[in-house]
Structure 1
Amino acid sequence: MTTADAFETPDLMLALPEIWLLAMACLVLVVDLFSKDRDHTPAFWLTQFALVSTAVITINLQWGVDATTFSGTYVADDFGTILKVAALGLGFLGFAYSRDYMRDRGLLTGEFYMLSLFAMLGMLVTISAHNLLTLYLGVELMSLCFYALVAMDRDSPRASEAAMKYFVLGALASGMLLYGMSMLYGTTGSLDLATIREAAATLEDNRILFLFGLVFMVVGVAFKFGAVPFHMWVPDVYHGAPTPVTLMIATASKVAAVGLFLRLIGEGLEPLIADWQQMIVILAVLSLLVGNTVALVQTNIKRMLAYSTFNHMGFILMGLLAGAPGGYGAAVFYAVTYAMTVAAAFGVVLLLSQKNFEADQLTDFKGLNERSPLYAFIMLLLMISLTGIPGTVGFYAKWLVLKATVEAGFVWLAVLAVAGAVVGAFYYLRIVRLMYFDKPEGAGPQPSGSGGFRAVLTLNGLAVLALGIFPGALVAICMAAFAP
């Protein structure tokens, strides 16, 4: 074996998005260290620049490419590009919405930006991982940063409790994921997903050990989705964490979870589709049932959105279990549009929150139309989109997933999902009733926030409306990413 055969020179340009984001995160850390600005303005603008520039680099270097580097441990392709740009865009929205909230509570620090950027880096590594070790490193980098972010408000017992639950249960899920990976390595002798896929296709010996590894990895992936029955952490973390951190966990991390599934299960274990489909069906059914029933009785909007997340994760899992390009494209479209819609919903919550006041009760939305017709209208758009009413982007997302599910032969599951969507209409449209038909208790919380915050939130809400009217371009992009 020659030296050239033994060592492959990595293509650093292919992995430039991750390298650039890492460099920018370190720059944010150093600049904030020497900055005297109490509002951490340089760190904010550098962070936003880092996210936008990374997205531009990703599109320019990785769209239309299908290549690996770093000895096959890193892959760049179209669907990875879509998920990366979506995660970076959601991070941009999260920072734009969070600045006033974090400053009013004394939580606006350089560490908030730095940890969030490293969490984004973990998402990007996860989405482009083509090796079990790289995949695990990306997942853990993202998770460890989120554990710290949830506990940022050290004076809040609720936040500390949420962070501890998240850490303990997350460590358990990571252990299961790692244990499953070790079984695959023990069976195949390789960490490379392409090699594992080839071994799974010709598997004869050690099939039981391979399937045990599959079970443990599905459990680890389900935890990252927050799918039932591995959902115990979700309501407490959504409720206890600072709302901007909740926004990022509820949006960008779900996009990364789709990437984790597609790399690990959809690609690496695709030959075992008959086995993992059965597990995903169970997760989807339980998520649809528990999410819709428990969300009905919530009075806190963060907990309501947490439980309703299970319903939406059930829809995403339905697209993924189809195991076909159409199902994968539908799942990616659903994840991206759902995350964008939920980001705007949390943006409205942050808009109404003020110093020493959290606008996280449903009653806080009473009479919002009288105080702010614009943001009541935006919240109306978001709620009907999450419900899946025709004419909204949520309807198209659900329709694509249901179509893929029926084509895969799971007609009964599609019927169950439609029934669940009808139940979901009750708790989403309840907020619409409160905004337009109920009188506020007292003056009610007034919309606050800077002009930039309001402008981004307005554009975010209108983007949900625009995608509901003209969904074709985004649908085509998501489907093209999985075209044979």
Structure 2
Amino acid sequence: MTPTMPTAAELLPLLPELVLVGAAFALLMLDLFLDERRRVVTHALSIATLVIVAALIVAGVGGQGTVLNGMFVRDVAADVLKVVACVVSALAMVYAWPFLRERGLYKGEVPVLMLFAVAGMMLLISAGSLVMIYLGLEMLALCSYALVAIDRDSPLASEAAMKYFILGALASGMLLYGLSLIYGATGTLDLAQINAAAATVQQPMLLLTGMVFVVAGIAFKFGAAPFHMWLPDVYHGAPTPITLFIGSAPKLAAFGMAYRLLETGAGPLDDHWRVLIAGLAALSLVIGNLIALMQTNLKRLLAYSTISHVGFLFLGLAGGGPQGYAAAMFYAISYAIMSAAAFGAIIMLSRRGFEADRIDDYKGLNARNPWMAGLVLCIMASLAGVPPFLGFWAKLVVLRAALQGDMLWLAIVGIVFAVIGAFYYLRVIKVMYFDEPTGEVMVPRDNQPLQVVFGVNALVLFVLGIFWNPIMAWCQQAFGT
């Protein structure tokens, strides 16, 4: 079939992405004419851009469909993930402004890089072709590397950025090699055609080998064990708002990539890749939770807990089927909100010269600021999976998905390590409520809008824990269940 130039009407499903990229380029040019004092204009417009793009998607502007000869697919699943990615990214920008400004780290390229990273996420989520997957992935990755290195004077941040870049390049190479093997086995780059060819392919071993490399690439982008080497150092070394950004929204894009590659592309091979995903899930649960128990730095603790949460998300993927994918999507959304709140707490209590990233920094927080301690309690309880918080229902639905996918052993591993994992979250709560205050006085930021945003972010974990059904129904609708 000879490719034809799309008309403006045919490109309408791409409208949110076009608005986002156009705004990012416009803000890049605008920043050239703004001095340091007026940089808030660029930042505010970046947040407004993400809110507008999310509103366009919710309103269904442009409609759903496929464009660019099937390379770009806009469906319900894509719309759900994109809306949450835009909202969480806007939240990250709100947290970033005061933190980076007071440390002299705020540069005009920060919001622009974040916008281009979100554009990469959206392309990844809507990929209908191997080419689009790689394009979206590299767009997201290159922006993330630059954001981690934004504090050029910090040896810790520079080391984190180098590790992230080198290991990210290695993972991208593995993924690209896997994609090339899949193309060699099926003769097509289109995911729907790969799905059709997978059942009758002449060289199944070539296709399966490619799938192993693809799963390894997906595991790296998620931060699943044993491909997690970059994650603790990057989370610890990057400025906290950047950690918040790369630790929340990209997980939604990684889920979108996994769904497109594994189900849309390699659906007929699910007996093979589900076993690989189950093994990665079990390994992530074991390594993430056990190493997190030994951490004294809160950012590193949250990094290792991220590995364990990826293990839980993989329970849904390993379960397979529409229910499994809906459960994994619900977990990705829940974790993005919880992760933003957890790093938001560190930002709220930090100031220039005091990062508030050690667990001991939180000793006696309740005696000094009961309201702040209560909000951190909500976040830790949700991450631990304590009912009725959002994290409890997220864990419950992926465990049920694993059982429905005949993965009883994996569900048992999940339950055991959910109990073990609760210990290190409860340790933070214990330090806040039962230890005597020591060291510097923890004073939340005197920034009213940020206090409101953080309060809503933390309390929504409790509210959504009670009213979680609409989000789950939204996820189920995305996969026709």
What is the TM-score of this pair, normalised by structure 1? 0.97
Q: Describe how 1:174-253 pairs up with structure 2 within 5 A.
A: 174-203=172-201, 205-253=202-250
Corresponding residue number in structure 2 for 1:47 = 46
> What fraction of aligned residue pairs are identical, expressed as a percent?
49
Would the alpha carbon gap of residues 380 and 55 (structure 1) be closer, same or farther in structure 2, given more than 3 Å must change?
Answer: same
CA contact (8 A) 1:251 1:343 kept: yes
* Deviation per residue, 1:301-323 (Å, 9 max, x gap): 00000001111100101101112
Change (3 A) 1:342 1:274: same
For 1:36 and 1:156, how far apart are their aligned partners in 2? 24
- Show the counterpart of 1:97: 95
Secondary structure of 1:75's aligned partner: strand
Q: Secondary structure at the match of 2:37?
A: coil
| d(CA) in 1 for partners of 2:432, 2:477 | 40
The one-character-per-residue Cα deviations of 1:103-162 (angstroms, maximum 9, x if unpaired) are 011111111111111111100110011010011000000000000111110000011111
Q: Would you say the 8 A contact 1:9–1:70 is kept in 2?
A: no
Q: Does 1:274 align with 2:271?
A: yes
| Deviation digits for residues 86-113 of structure 1 (CA, Å, limit 9, x no counterpart) | 1111111101111111001111111111
**Superposition deviation, residue 449 in structure 1:** 4.3
Q: Does 1:56 align with 2:55?
A: yes
Equivalent positions of 1:414-433 (< 5 A) are: 414-433=411-430
Displacement, 1:266?
Answer: 1.9
Q: Distance in 1 between matches of 2:446 and 2:208?
A: 52
SS in 2 for 1:359: coil
From 328, 333, 337, the counterpart of 2:330:
333
Instruction: Give the alignment of 1:60-75 within 5 angstroms.
Output: 60-61=59-60, 66-75=64-73
Paired with 1:454 and 1:6, the residues of 2 have a C-alpha distance of 52
Give the distance between the partners of 2:61 and 2:129, measured in 1 at CA: 18
**What is the rounded CA distance, in whole Å, between the counterparts of 1:66 and 1:23 in structure 2?**
21
Question: C-alpha displacement at 1:475, in angstroms?
Answer: 1.0
What is the CA-CA distance between 1:448 and the residue it aligns to?
1.2
Question: Structure 1 pair 383/188, CA: closer, same or farther in 2 (3 Å)?
Answer: same
- The CA distance in 2 between the partners of 1:6 and 1:14, in whole Å, is 17
Q: Following the alignment from structure 1 to structure 2, what is the Cα–Cα distance between the partners of residues 36 and 304?
A: 38
Q: 1:127 is matched by which residue type in structure 2?
A: I
- Mapped to 1, the partners of 2:346 and 2:39 lie a distance apart of 23
Q: List per-residue Cα deviations over 1:346-403 (Å, max 9, x = no partner).
A: 1110011101221100011111112221121111011111111121111111111111
Q: How do 1:150-165 residues align onto structure 2 when only pairs under 5 Å count? A: 150-165=148-163
- Do the aligned residues in 2 keep the contact of 1:287 with 1:314 (CA within 8 Å)? yes
Q: Is the 8 A contact 1:39 1:103 kept in 2?
A: no
Asked whether the 8 Å contact 2:194–2:266 carries over to 1, the reply is yes
Aligned residues: 480
Q: 1:39: Cα distance to partner?
A: 5.4
**Partner residue in 2 for 1:291:** 288
Q: In the alignment, which residue of structure 1 is the partner of 2:410?
A: 413
Q: Given residue 106 of structure 2, which amino acid in structure 1 is its aligned partner?
A: L
Q: CA deviation at 1:168?
A: 0.4
Q: Tell me which of 373, 378, 381 is aligned to 1:381.
A: 378
Shift of 1:37: 4.3
After superposition, the C-alpha distances for 1:276-327 in whole angstroms (9 at most, x for unaligned) are 0111111001000001100001000000000011111001011011121111
* Structural RMSD (CA): 1.4
For 2:407, the aligned partner's letter is: F
Q: Which runs of 5+ in 2 are unaligned?
A: none
Residue 167 of structure 2, aligned match among 169, 182, 186: 169
Q: More displaced, 435-444 or 223-232?
A: 435-444
